[in-house]
Copies of this chain bind each other. A is one copy, B any other.
């Protein structure tokens, strides 16, 4: 029975172990979890890394180091994005310099649905405002379309150092729009070392973004700037509210958007997939299944309070609490967050506008 108690979802990691072996990604260690002392590490949401000990070493010795991640700017932000930005803020709290990239050009060139830079910038403005409301600070932001010529020439310079065969081996056959987006991403990751100085960095990415990381690490060695190959951390994506669905910017039913009204969020949570049993009687007897429940996943990804999380878990597993009651608690939790967040969002709007359009 204790084997099956898994309030932090560590069994899920097993699904990824083949990736660890195949690509040389390392598992997060207990020491690393202790160092960060944060729900996303404790609860096995961040599961893998490259060179994280080098970053921790720099953080411990107060040496310069950085965390970079990009916001794709091609759709609405949801709670899955919030988790990544929370992780980002954690690195800053620990002492890393943040580079949060608003990837408006990337979003524009890599997605056929976005037909102009202006359209990408509308998403960028929205996404950036949310990031600021979540606690990313203006000085941590860079906007691709507002970068200086040194950034763009780095993008072009990198294109000299990657062969067609390599790009094909990593990504298969991709069009030039995607190739451009790739080079922009490599520049996003590496430019802090050119603009400031060579230093270890980390990039929070999902496993499917690992090709970028591998190629960027190679590029760091090929460029004539003595860059240090950046490390990475791999958080698992929060899954969709519907069974078997990803949390997606383009499928409203799968995600709570950071811009949803509390009513919209409540309606989605009411319709969310849970680990409940077919009848009340059965659930009272066998308990719920938080390990497959989207409501419990919302708690696990976003509720800071460990005690409360454990309690929710136990009350579910024991059959003491049914899904209806639990959803009510989740709706309250999400409502409280959204109300506060959306107040901050309004406050941040002029700052975001200035960051996107101010320097044009």
CB 8 Å contact bits of A30-54 with B (1 = contact, 0 = none): 0000000000000000000000000
Considering the chains assembled together, what is the distance between the CA atoms of A147 and B212 in angstroms? Answer: 28
Report whether A177 and B153 are in contact in the complex, using a CB–CB cutoff of 8 Å. no
Q: Are B179 and A179 in contact (CB under 8 A)?
A: yes
Q: Which residues of B contact A179 (CB under 8 A)?
A: 159, 176, 179
| Residues of chain B contacted by A184 (CB below 8 angstroms) | 156
Mask, A71-112, CB within 8 Å of B = 1, is 000000000000000000000000000000000010011001
Partner of A176, one of B117, B167, B175, B360: B167
Q: Which of the residues B115, B162, B176, B224 comes within 8 Å of A159, measured between beta carbons?
A: B176
A173-B164 contact, Cβ under 8 Å, with A117-B153, A145-B149, A153-B145: yes
Residue numbers in B under 8 Å from A116 (CB-CB): 224
Contact with B along A177-193 (1 / 0, CB 8 A): 10110011000000000
Q: Is A152 an interface residue (CB 8 A)?
A: yes
Q: Does chain B have a CB within 8 A of A148?
A: yes
A163 is an interface residue with CB less than 8 A from chain B: yes
Q: Which of A94-153 contact B (CB under 8 A)?
A: 105, 108-109, 112, 115-117, 145-150, 152-153
Q: Tell me if A280 counts as interface (CB < 8 A to partner B).
A: no
Pick from B105, B148, B149, B159: contact of A109, CB below 8 A: B159
Q: Counting CB contacts under 8 A, is A14 at the interface?
A: no
**Is A176 a contact partner of B149 (Cβ separation < 8 A)?**
no
Contact yes or no, A115 B175, CB < 8 A? no
* Shortest distance from the beta carbon of A219 to any chain B beta carbon, whole Å: 12
Check A108/B145 contact, CB under 8 A, given A115-B224, A173-B164: no
**Total copies of this chain within the assembly:** 2
Q: Is the CB of B180 within 8 A of A156?
A: yes
Residue of B nearest to A359 (CB): B149
The answer to whether the Cβ of A18 comes within 8 Å of any Cβ in the partner chain is no
Q: Measured between alpha carbons, how far is A153 from B155 in the docked complex, in Å?
A: 12
Q: Which residues of B contact A149 (CB under 8 A)?
A: 145-147, 360
Q: With a 10 A CB-CB cut-off, give which of A117, A147, A360 has the most chain B CB atoms.
A: A117
User: How far apart are the CA atoms of A200 and B116 in the complex, in Å?
Assistant: 23
Q: Does A21 touch B at the CB level, under 8 Å?
A: no
Mask, A50-80, CB within 8 Å of B = 1, is 0000000000000000000000000000000
Chain B CB within 10 A, most for which of A150, A176, A183, A360: A176
Q: Is A307 an interface residue (CB 8 A)?
A: no
With most chain B CB atoms within 10 A of its CB, the pick from A148, A149, A179, A360 is: A149
* Chain B residues in 8 Å Cβ range of A147: 149
- Some 24 contacts from A to B, beta carbons below 8 A apart, are A105-B156, A108-B153, A109-B156, A109-B159, A109-B160, A112-B160, A145-B152, A145-B153, A146-B149, A147-B149, A152-B152, A156-B180, A159-B176, A159-B177, A159-B179, A159-B180, A160-B175, A160-B176, A160-B177, A162-B176, A163-B176, A164-B173, A167-B176, A179-B179
Beyond the given pairs A109-B159, A162-B176, A164-B173, 19 more chain A to chain B contacts, judged by CB atoms under 8 angstroms and listed by A's residue number, are A105-B156, A108-B157, A109-B160, A112-B160, A117-B150, A117-B153, A117-B157, A145-B152, A146-B149, A149-B360, A156-B180, A156-B184, A159-B175, A159-B180, A160-B176, A160-B177, A160-B180, A163-B175, A163-B176
